Amino acid sequence: MKTIRIGSRESRLAVIQSELVMDAIRAHHPDVALELVTMKTTGDKILDRTLDQIGGKGLFVKELDAALLEGRADLSVHSCKDLPMDIDPRIPLAGFTRREDPRDVLVLPEGVAELDNSKPIGCASARRAVQLRALFPGMEIAPVRGNVLTRLRKLDEGQFSALVLAAAGLKRLGLEGRISRYFTVEEMLPAAGQGILALQSRAGEDLSWLSGVLDEEGTWCAVAERAFVRALDGGCSSPIAAHAVLSGGEICITGLYVDEEGTAIRRTVTGPREQGENLAERLAGEIKEACPCLEK
């Protein structure tokens, strides 16, 4: 019996996410043997600088990509929001999972009930930072790196008044009780793919053992949201957000871009879900027209 090796970052959250996928594979294909292969990525090692200063999201997948290409792993599990837009055609995306809660949340230090205005709110992305400044005018917003547990430790040590994190990660870690406030998607538009897991494998492989694991709704949303960001040439440092919702046979996509002067441009488009990718690209085009700095 062939053993399928699942590649994962070695953080606790990444391992839990990979185990969720492995449990789903076992439930639908009990005859498949699975092995978890963990590794520390470059992005996990460099914690004293923001991602845009060290090369962007690709630093979280470089080692996982190499493991796939070299045959040391057969499937990689990623947080979709952390996955670069450009994918090596030799290791295409195999699909996406059901979406967990896509919202961002506010987390206060343990035992604290209110924000301390003398300390910054910590967040790890330009997308969150620009939206936080509108929600909490006058509050300092500061970058924070590290995995979720590392960030929570920094918060509880008193370095920040609060953190903004993804609800999905906290729920998967069993830390839903740390959430002080859920931001609506109107208050803070999530990152493209937030709450969805992306699966990646080698081109030409038989992936029949993923049947029953992939999620149709998660796939429609992830493909559309990623298309919006890709059309705007968005990387980790770009203040871009996208969120799609399915209703019947339609998909509603909301996109956000913040221009060089800090002005947020937000647009929404709705249409047949089968046209989600084209709709997202059209939405990006509307934003480009509204923001001359994006025109080439």
DSSP code of 205? -
* Rounded CA separation 49/27 (Å): 41
**Annotated catalytic residue 82:** yes
Token pair for residue 162? 């609060």
Contacts of 263 (CB under 8 A, 6+ apart): none
The residue annotated as part of the active site, out of 82, 101, 104, 215, is 82
Q: Which helix (H) or strand (E) holds 151?
A: helix 148-156
> Of 279, 190, 267, 281, whose CA–CA distance to 228 is shortest?
281
In contact, 162 and 115? CB cutoff 8 Å: yes
E runs forming strands in 124-200: 141-143, 162-166, 179-182, 197-200
Report DSSP state, residue 253: E
What spatial distance separates the first Cα and last Cα of the chain, rounded to whole Å? 53
d(CA 90, CA 205): 11
Instruction: Determine the number of helices (DSSP H) and then strands (DSSP E) in the chain.
Output: 9, 13
Let me know if 49 is exposed, middle or buried by CB neighbors in 10 A (0-12, 13-18, 19+).
Answer: exposed
The set of catalytic residues is 82
